[in-house]
Chain A
Amino acid sequence: MFHSKFFLFPFVLTLIFSFTSTSFAQDAETPKLVMKRHWAKSLGFSYVSWTEFVDLSTATSTDQAFANFYGNALSYEKASFNRGHWGNAIEGSLMYGQAGAGGSQTQIQYQSSSQKWWGAQANYRWAYRLNHQVVLSMGPMALYRQITWSDQDTVTVKSGADLNLGWVGDLRLQLGRNWQLRQSIGTLAFKASTIWNLGLNYIF
């Protein structure tokens, strides 16, 4: 529960959306107006998380551990579609959050939590619009993040890479006239594993 503040906001937004959704009465044609556009700009707020592999070292030994990152991302996206199903999207995000490192090391004992980090992410995705309310997309991504791990007892800690590259897949559901639910999952190439993203985008 310690990181709920990073997670809660998207769901609060979901609830707000749920309670206010009658205001536009969900007439069937409304979402089409958005999705039929050749382009759509949106602002997104989401929960983001990934895991990095940690190298621990002292003067005499080395060991490995894990680091779990979580936080929020504020993103700007521009998506464009031709008259058919195919299109593309480009997105940039600023991110902040906390991370914890540790694990079941045998040589070096190290545990750290609530370390602040900040970062940025960019991705380009090829998109396929299944229909007016569902879009699937995937493409390359780059993730930059900055974190300083606290050293303990002369232990040197290095996790993942400041700049990481990977691929991301994205499912976008059009909930109403302006709101999209986003679920993204991707892989990171350098000493890191899966990255998740869950949130809402507002189309303007």
Chain B
Amino acid sequence: MKTLVSLFFFLGLFLLGTRAQAYPEFISYGYSSCLTCHTNGLGSGPLNDYGRALWSAEIASRAFYSKSKSDEDIANQSGFLGSVEIPYWIRPHIKYRGIQVRTSPGSGTNDGTKFYQMQTDMGLTLQADSAGKYVAVATWGNVVPPAEYSQQHWGLYRVLAKEYYLRLQMAKTWWLYAGLMDKVFGIRGVDHQSYQRTYQGFNVNNDSQNGIGQSQGLILHKVEDTWEVAANYFVGHPGDSENYKQKGFSGFSEFEVGEKKRLGASLSSAKSNLLKKDMFAIHYRQGLSKGSSMMFEYGLIEDQDQTQDKLRGSYNLIEGMALLTRGYNLRAAIERYNRAFKPEEPDVWRWSMGLLMFPLPRLEIRTEFVNGRRFSTQSANDDTWSLQGQIHVSL
């Protein structure tokens, strides 16, 4: 761990630098910081007014609008109640995600298709002043614990606090967050099944040794035009079992190394009664032409629980996204995960390619195929395949 800390600070000296935004791929539009579009300056959670307008007027297709309607008109309809203006101090939000997964498509079996309710969130953002210096956010959601997936228990059955925090803008470029939030670490990408978030423990919504992904704590965030840095102290999710609550700290930095190019590093060290988890990652994002981008992240994960020796493994993500036409993107991502640097530990790969579409403001549709492969000295395996369709509605 000492080595990781040293490495982080060594890099930090040179890289002082952001975090991925909503979505991190949108660096290709020239938006480098999450703070541009999100209330949480480190990404995820409700969009601010600018983010809503941006989605409507620049990201989403305008194929369903008449030519006479300007992008500005479309942006003006992006509020929670459309063009009906509501007081600045209150912003409700509702978010839904569902995914249909067909495993082994083309195999002729009919039982390989399942629909999962991924996310049903609702909440409020309250603002004490028009400048947004004092903001409170709360989001609750129904979730299906991932463990239920394999047991085929469909539907929503558990209400979980996803976030509740106060945000204080302390100075022009300083923000302080206090409450329940996502932990600060790495790129927050669009793929909720990604190895890059799963094995870090950030996709967890039920009792597991990784603890629930969100945690109570404090975040100090500094955002400059060309770099940003954040530090997070966390103590676990109050809804988690006491043994699983991960307590510790994490940090994130990102630095602009060229136009639409950001290089960053993250560090996390956490401990519960059952698991000590340390992580370090470096990442790189680059905007290419408008709407097209690439992202890369390499990370080390070290887990030590009570039953086995320390396991130090690694993961990679490399993603390319190409804008086909406004609102429609081709996305290809390759991921690898290895639990431990041991010859007998398999390398698990996941290659996904598909379309990321925003046919209308507030609506996102994804279709992709996912090819999985596993390399091991102990056995050889056939590839796994799945075809996935995802819908995301954000009001």
In the bound complex, do residue B259 and residue A102 qualify as a contact, i.e. CB atoms below 8 Å apart? Answer: no
- Complex interface residues of chain A between 52 and 109 (CB less than 8 A to chain B): 54, 65-68, 70, 100-104
A2 in the interface (beta carbon within 8 A): yes
Once bound together, how far apart are the Cα atoms of A194 and B352, in whole Å? 12
Say yes or no for A130: interface residue by CB 8 A criterion.
Answer: yes
Tell me the complex Cα distance, A122–B100, Å: 37
Q: Does A136 contact B (CB under 8 A)?
A: yes
Residues of chain A within 8 A (CB-CB) of B132 are: none
Question: B260 contacts the other chain (Cβ, under 8 Å)?
Answer: yes
A-side contacts of B345, CB under 8 Å: 1-2
Q: Check: B201 CB closer than 8 A to any chain A CB.
A: no
Bound complex: CA A100 to CA B381 (Å): 9
Asked, given contacts A173-B288, A175-B286, whether A21 binds B351 with beta carbons under 8 Å apart, the answer is no
Q: Are B322 and A11 in contact (CB under 8 A)?
A: no
Within 8 Å CB of B288, what residues of A? 31, 133-134, 173-175
Instruction: Tally B residues with Cβ within 8 Å of A.
Output: 50
A4 and B380 contact, CB distance less than 8 A: no
| B contact residues around A104 at 8 Å (CB) | 379
Nearest Cβ on chain A to B199's Cβ, whole angstroms: 14
How many angstroms between the C-alpha atoms of A21 and B345 in the bound complex?
Answer: 34
User: Which residue of chain A lies nearest to B336 when distances are taken between CB atoms in the complex?
Assistant: A7
The reply to whether the CB of B204 lies closer than 8 angstroms to some CB of chain A is no
Interface string of B347-358 (1 = CB under 8 A from A): 101010100000
Is A123 interfacial (CB 8 A cutoff)? Answer: no
Query: In the complex the two chains form, what is the Cα distance from A1 to B344 in whole Å?
Result: 8
A-B contact pairs, 18 of them (CB 8 A): A1-B341, A2-B347, A11-B296, A14-B318, A18-B263, A19-B257, A26-B259, A27-B259, A49-B375, A51-B383, A54-B380, A67-B380, A68-B375, A68-B380, A102-B378, A130-B324, A173-B294, A196-B334
8 smallest beta-carbon distances between A and B, as pairs: A26-B258, A113-B377, A133-B288, A102-B380, A18-B284, A134-B322, A131-B289, A66-B380
Q: Report which A residues bind B (CB closer than 8 A).
A: 1-4, 7, 11, 14-15, 18-19, 21-22, 24-28, 31, 49, 51, 54, 65-68, 70, 100-104, 111, 113-114, 130-134, 136, 171, 173-175, 181, 183, 185, 193-194, 196, 198
